[in-house]
């Protein structure tokens, strides 16, 4: 995952949480702790650029409903009953699942107990971007309160934990944040130099309604309000016009492509082939396990690689290598981590060890490694995971979290909600 070809036989030296070097030769001298990964693959930790860990307990709830009905009749009413304990159980489960399938960095947009999420990130040893999702369909006072809370979150947590944690400002979406509220948020972001994240043009319906109300496309509208002037990441971008795509390309905006969630909610398929042609920086995200229903980036890579071939009737639409870069390197940049998503000297030592011995990945000649990673491997093939040089998963076991407790608490929290 450097610019060149994979290093076939060699070793990587980790020191003080960073990659000190990668060498294509026999180990001459051993120093410190030695991890033997002979016969296995070492890949960069995945960066999951869009999700909502707080809704993990809603996995499988209200399946097969349209997005609007699903949000209004299932998600939001259930979420109103969430306690601090519920979100802790949900976020811990999400972190555990992500870690075990090779994700070392994630973005979390949620509106409840984000301080607790920050603490869980630090406990787990992962990297995470906190976004206090703001829905503006409320009074001016409540809007101001939500924005204040978001800025507080930034002041408290941004770059904490030796840079593991970052914070972005996150208006939920143009259809839930009226333009004047959106403008307030953008102003705050620029005032403090905070990056912005939002859902954008996920469904055709929301785009049509936006055009009906404001006479312009949502991305053009956001652009007028200044949304793309600083560092910006949008989720979905399924129904962006050609003009909007060119606009995002010019602004250097990142797009978090969430193919599985878009398919499951029947939202459509983002035009990643065109995004690629316009040199837009696309990264991958799972969205929440309520609309996915897993947080496994291997699955996300597979969907992202296959749907664009099918929809475009063109097997060259995206390559396996493109997809790997989206899942790691582009994601790192999108989340403002300068040194993540690559195995390269000077980069953060965020990586996974993948077991290639499964029948689903045989035969495995060297030149098929990248192909297998995208088209054949599964999250459960990950055996060991490191973030910032620290081992977080060993032989498929979580080292920093108690998996038994996570499983028990997840079931218990849902049972309590139902009671
Ligand atoms: Zn989302």
Give 353 Cα–ligand 1 centroid separation in angstroms.
29
Three-class SS state of 89 = helix
Give 287 Cα–ligand 1 centroid separation in angstroms.
5
The reply to whether 316 and 176 lie within a common domain is: yes
The reply to whether 212 and 296 lie within a common domain is: yes
The reply to whether 154 and 247 lie within a common domain is: yes
- Residue 1, in any domain of the structure: no
Report whether 52 belongs to an annotated binding site. yes
Over residues 398-406, mean pLDDT: 98
Report whether 79 belongs to an annotated binding site. yes
d(CA 287, CA 167): 18
CATH number assigned to the domain comprising residue 119: 3.20.20.140
Report whether 338 belongs to an annotated binding site. no
Q: Which residue has the higher pLDDT, 347 or 418?
A: 347
Contact 401/95 with Cβ under 8 angstroms? Answer: yes
* pLDDT confidence of residue 1: 66
212 is in which domain, residue-wise? 46-334
DSSP code of residue 17: T
Report whether 172 belongs to an annotated binding site. yes
CATH number assigned to the domain comprising residue 385: 2.30.40.10
Banded model confidence at residue 3, pLDDT cuts 50, 70, 90: low
Structure token digits, residue 33: 């702790």
Report whether 158 belongs to an annotated binding site. no
pLDDT tens, position by position, 77-133: 888 999 999 999 999 999 999 999 999 999 999 999 999 999 999 999 999 999 999
d(CA 7, CA 71): 46
pLDDT tens, position by position, 23-70: 998 887 778 899 999 999 999 999 999 999 999 999 999 888 877 888
Helix extents (H) in 22-83: 67-69, 76-79
The reply to whether 101 and 165 lie within a common domain is: yes
pLDDT tens, position by position, 129-138: 999 999 999 9
The reply to whether 267 and 282 lie within a common domain is: yes
pLDDT tens, position by position, 353-378: 999 989 999 999 888 999 999 999 99
Banded model confidence at residue 4, pLDDT cuts 50, 70, 90: low
The reply to whether 284 and 156 lie within a common domain is: yes
The reply to whether 135 and 212 lie within a common domain is: yes
- Which of 334, 356, 391 terminates a domain? The answer is 334
Give 18 Cα–ligand 1 centroid separation in angstroms.
31
d(CA 354, CA 327): 15
* pLDDT confidence of residue 402: 98
Number of domains in the chain: 2
The reply to whether 95 and 52 lie within a common domain is: yes
Give 293 Cα–ligand 1 centroid separation in angstroms.
13
């Amino acid at each position: 995952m450097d610019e060149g070809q994979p290093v076939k036989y060699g070793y990587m030296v980790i020191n003080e949480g960073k990659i000190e070097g990668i060498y294509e030769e026999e180990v001459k001298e051993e120093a410190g702790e030695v991890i033997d990964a002979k016969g296995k693959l070492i890949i960069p930790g995945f960066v999951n650029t869009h999700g909502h860990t707080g809704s993990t307990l809603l996995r499988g709830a209200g399946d097969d409903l349209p997005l609007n009905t699903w949000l209004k009749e299932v998600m939001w009413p259930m979420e109103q009953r969430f306690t601090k304990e519920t979100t802790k159980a949900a976020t811990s489960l999400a972190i555990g699942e992500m870690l075990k399938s090779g994700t070392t960095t994630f973005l979390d947009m949620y509106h409840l107990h984000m301080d607790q999420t920050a603490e869980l990130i630090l406990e787990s040893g992962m990297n995470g971007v906190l976004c206090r999702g703001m829905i503006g369909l409320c009074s001016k006072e409540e809007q101001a309160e939500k924005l204040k809370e978001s800025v507080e979150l930034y002041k408290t947590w941004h770059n904490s934990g030796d840079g593991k944690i970052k914070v972005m400002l996150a208006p939920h979406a143009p259809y839930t944040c009226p333009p004047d509220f959106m403008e307030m948020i953008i102003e705050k972001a620029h005032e403090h130099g905070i990056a912005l994240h939002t859902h954008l043009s996920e469904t055709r319906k929301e785009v049509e309604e936006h055009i009906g109300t404001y006479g312009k496309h949502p991305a053009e509208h956001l652009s007028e309000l200044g949304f793309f002037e600083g560092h910006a990441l949008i989720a979905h971008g399924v129904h962006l016009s050609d003009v909007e795509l060119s606009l995002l390309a010019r602004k250097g905006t990142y797009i978090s492509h969430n193919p599985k969630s878009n398919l499951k909610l029947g939202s459509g398929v983002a035009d990643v082939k065109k995004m690629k042609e316009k040199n837009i920086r696309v990264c991958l995200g799972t969205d929440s396990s309520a609309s996915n229903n897993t947080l496994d980036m291997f699955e996300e890579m597979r969907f992202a690689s296959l749907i664009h071939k099918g929809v475009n009737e063109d097997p060259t639409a995206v390559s396996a290598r493109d997809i790997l870069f989206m899942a790691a390197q582009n994601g790192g940049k999108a989340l403002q981590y300068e040194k993540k998503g690559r195995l390269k000297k000077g980069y953060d030592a965020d990586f996974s060890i993948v077991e290639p011995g499964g029948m689903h990945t045989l035969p495995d000649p060297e030149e098929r490694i990248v192909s297998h990673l995208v088209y054949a491997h599964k999250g459960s093939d990950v055996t060991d995971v490191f973030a910032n040089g620290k081992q977080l998963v060993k032989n498929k076991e979580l080292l920093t979290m108690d998996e038994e407790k996570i499983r028990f608490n997840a079931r218990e929290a849902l049972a309590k909600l139902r009671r």
